[in-house]
Chains A and B, each alone.
Chain A
């Protein structure tokens, strides 16, 4: 705050853009943590943090990418506190998913979602950003604060894992609290802390 205080009109622009990305934040959060209530808590936390940090947002850059960095950091922090390490709740997922009424699904969306949630978190987020959010590899790498090659490799691994699971119907019951995945998250947290979200700064 202080010297860099934004004008009233800049604040209004910021708020309008922030409001516009809320549905995307909810979609990203739901894909990350799989539970609608937790996802929405995460988005609310993100909105408050984004609002408090608005002086650091460069007008004209992508609000979606900027807020995704904040959301993802909040998610990683919550993961570290074990908040999301519960077992995947299938009945919740059924409620969470809202497939358009009367539309044929080539693949059951709940299977899709369950398969997604069994991926190690860093691959899941990479696939969500690129495959669902429509970010380029470069944008996704900025959001995750890692190299483009790393994102490509994570997306590739996530894709092949989903191919296998969905092709032969072998979707594991859970691996959300899998130790390996959790360790990867913690390691990645250190990277995040070191790089502190490229997109957030530039």
Chain B
């Protein structure tokens, strides 16, 4: 994700927790999608 563009000035002083924040986010992004989501996405086409 476009990390680095944002917060130019502040990014330099990012403390070590800043990496933890991204890790928190990325760890969820990388999780396998639960079946409930696959089911819901599959059903969308019939919802009109």
Measured CB to CB, the residues of A under 8 A from B are: 1, 11, 15, 18-19, 22-24, 26-28, 30-31, 40, 43-44, 47-48, 51-52, 97-100, 105-107, 109, 112-113, 115-116, 127-128, 130-137, 155-156, 159, 162-163, 166-167
Contact between B25 and A100 (Cβ–Cβ < 8 Å)?
no
Name the B residues within 8 Å of A167 (CB-CB): 15
Which parts of B1-48 form the interface with A (CB within 8 Å)?
Answer: 1-3, 5-7, 10, 15-31, 33-34, 36-37, 40-41, 44-45, 47-48
Contact assessment for A43 and B37 in the assembled complex, using a CB-CB cutoff below 8 Å: yes
Contact B41 A23 (CB under 8 A): no
> In the complex, are the beta carbons of B10 and A107 less than 8 A apart?
no
Tell me the smallest distance from the CB of B29 to a CB of chain A, in Å: 4
B→A interface (CB under 8 Å): 1-3, 5-7, 10, 15-31, 33-34, 36-37, 40-41, 44-45, 47-48
Q: Do most interface residues of chain B lie in helix, strand or loop, or is the interface mixed?
A: helix
Please list 6 pairs of residues, one from A and one from B, whose beta carbons are closer than 8 Å in the complex, sorted by A's number: A22-B33, A109-B20, A112-B17, A132-B25, A134-B5, A155-B7
Main secondary structure of the interface of A (DSSP, over half): helix
The answer to whether A15 touches B19, judged by C-beta atoms less than 8 angstroms apart, is no
Cβ–Cβ contact A27 & B26, under 8 A: yes
User: Are A113 and B24 within 8 A (Cβ)?
Assistant: yes
Q: Please determine whether B44 and A47 come into contact, CB atoms closer than 8 angstroms.
A: yes
Other-chain residue from B10, B20, B44 in contact with A51 (beta carbon distance below 8 A): B44
Docked complex Cα distance between A65 and B11 (Å): 22
Given contacts A107-B16, A127-B21, A130-B6, contact A23 B47 (CB under 8 A): no
Partner of B2, one of A23, A27, A106, A134: A134
Determine the chain B residues whose CB is within 8 A of the CB of A132 once the complex forms.
21-22, 24-26
Judge whether B1 and A26 touch: CB under 8 Å: no
Beta-carbon contact of A131 and B20 below 8 Å? no
Known: A40-B34, A107-B16. A134 touches B6 (CB 8 A): yes
